[in-house]
């Protein structure tokens, strides 16, 4: 695990020394937007018009943030016009890697990982350097790459799913809207609490290097899960009867909870399985058409347990847990 410093790759674990053991996530740096007409979006500059086969998505199947973009690619019928490449789950001294001959010393190829079809790069950081030769910062997935101007449009999943939600509608004819105007205020407020306490909360617990930082993240995480458990006893989805972006953002963390976060990140007050509403809700979303295909537990478990040597030095990847997300969920009953 490492980062780029003025265009040089440096192998280094997260620095929590100056923050009382607390893990602080760095903001994404590429924040342009693909728009219908190529005009500027909420940030970045213009010039990224929605076109078929112009953009390429790089993801890890392990990563909850990248997973959001894969879900939106499926929900919005973008598979035929936005190709995707999957990196190797083992993220070691060279960061995220593509499949190929130049893997890091202890990395293994895991089925489903692919080579870089655009440039034949060995490592994802080489793609970042093509976009910004003096880049400083972490090298993260997902990455939305523009093949026309050879740059990164965005490496922020929250923005990429918003682009996918609407910018390509004219090309696909899919007008499903997961960020409807009438619900935006509610979605935004759910997102911000869920991001802080759950999406990023599990990482704040898992990457904490002080007892206090860990316990604080742990308590916030479970109090927000308790709150959601109650909310989901009333409604099928977070905002009521309509599935929105807020549900999909929550889903990618919940689906990993028992397999990874409970053990590896020590978020073990209880399993997701022990929450009747939340666990049925996850099965409901998992069974939505096209979603199960985006979930890959081999990549998920291999990534976390094998890559984080600071947390799991033996790199043993657990065989369990046994789980079946295709069991009935009965959540239709909550529709009013």
Ligand X SMILES: N[C@@H](CCC(=O)N[C@@H](CS)C(=O)NCC(=O)O)C(=O)O
Q: Which residues lie near ligand X (CB under 6 A)?
A: 1, 28, 63-65, 138-142, 155-158
CA distance 281 to 260: 19
- If one counts every other C-beta atom within 10 angstroms of the C-beta of residue 229, the result is 16
Please identify which of the residues 14, 179, 195, 203 carries the catalytic annotation.
203
CA atoms within 13 A on the CB side of 148: 12
Q: Is 304 an active-site residue?
A: no
Closest to ligand X by CB, 157 or 172: 157
Strand order in the sheet with 137-138: 8-11, 2-5, 137-138
Give the DSSP letter string of 187-255. Answer: HHHHHHHHIIIIITHHHHHHT--SHHHHHHHHHHHHHHHHHHHHHHHH-SBTTBSS--HHHHHHHHHHT
Tell me the two tokens of residue 331: 């959540």
E-strand spans in the chain?
A: 2-5, 8-11, 55-59, 84-86, 137-138, 143-146, 151-154
End-to-end CA distance of the chain: 48
CB of 112 to ligand X, least distance (A): 16
CB of 240 to ligand X, least distance (A): 26
Closest to ligand X by CB, 138 or 236: 138
CB of 63 to ligand X, least distance (A): 3
CB of 57 to ligand X, least distance (A): 12
Q: Which long-range contacts (CB under 8 A, 24 or more apart) does 186-193 make?
A: 186/239, 186/246, 187/239, 187/244, 187/245, 187/246, 190/238, 190/239, 190/246, 191/158, 191/245, 191/246, 191/249, 193/224
Closest CA to 214 of 320, 306, 311: 311
Closest to ligand X by CB, 128 or 275: 128
Q: At what angle do helices 157-166 and 245-254 cross, to 10 degrees?
A: 140
CB of 241 to ligand X, least distance (A): 27
CB of 277 to ligand X, least distance (A): 26
Closest to ligand X by CB, 303 or 329: 303
CB of 212 to ligand X, least distance (A): 23
Q: 143 in helix, strand or coil? A: strand
Please identify which of the residues 63, 237, 281, 305 carries the catalytic annotation.
63
Closest to ligand X by CB, 97 or 258: 97
Q: Is 203 an active-site residue?
A: yes
Closest to ligand X by CB, 16 or 242: 16
Closest to ligand X by CB, 85 or 283: 85
List alpha helices for 95-208, DSSP H.
124-131, 157-166, 169-172, 184-194, 201-206
Query: Which are the catalytic amino acids?
Result: 63, 203
């Amino acid at each position: 695990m490492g980062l780029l410093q003025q265009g040089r790759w440096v192998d280094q674990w997260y620095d929590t020394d100056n923050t009382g053991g607390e893990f602080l996530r760095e903001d994404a740096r590429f924040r342009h937007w693909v728009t219908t007409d190529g005009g500027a979006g909420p940030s970045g500059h213009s010039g990224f018009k929605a076109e078929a086969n112009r953009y390429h998505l790089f993801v890890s199947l392990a990563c909850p943030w990248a997973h959001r973009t894969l879900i939106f690619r499926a929900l919005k019928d973008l598979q035929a016009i936005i190709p995707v490449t999957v990196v190797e789950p083992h993220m070691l001294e060279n960061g995220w890697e593509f499949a190929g001959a130049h893997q890091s010393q202890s990395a293994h190829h895991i089925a489903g990982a692919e080579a870089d079809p655009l440039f034949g790069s060995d490592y994802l950081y080489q793609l970042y350097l093509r976009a910004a030769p003096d880049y400083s910062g972490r090298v993260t997935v997902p990455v939305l790459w523009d093949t026309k101007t050879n740059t990164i449009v965005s490496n922020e999943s929250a923005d990429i799913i918003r682009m996918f939600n609407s910018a390509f509608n004219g090309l696909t004819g899919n007008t499903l809207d997961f960020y409807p105007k009438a619900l935006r205020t509610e979605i935004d407020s759910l997102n911000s609490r869920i991001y802080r306490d759950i999406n990023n909360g599990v990482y704040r617990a898992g990457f904490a290097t002080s007892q206090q930082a860990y316990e604080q993240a742990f308590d916030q995480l479970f109090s927000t899960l308790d709150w959601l458990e109650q909310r989901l006893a009333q409604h099928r989805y977070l905002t009521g009867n309509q599935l929105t972006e807020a549900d999909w953002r929550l889903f990618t963390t919940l689906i990993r909870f028992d397999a990874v976060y409970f053990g590896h990140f020590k978020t073990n007050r209880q399993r997701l399985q022990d929450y009747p509403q939340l666990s049925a809700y996850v099965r409901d979303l998992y069974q939505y058409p096209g979603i199960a295909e985006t979930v890959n537990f081999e990549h998920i478990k291999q990534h976390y347990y094998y890559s984080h040597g600071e947390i799991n030095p033996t790199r043993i990847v657990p065989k369990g847990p046994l789980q079946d997300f295709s069991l009935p969920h009965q959540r239709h009953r909550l529709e009013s």
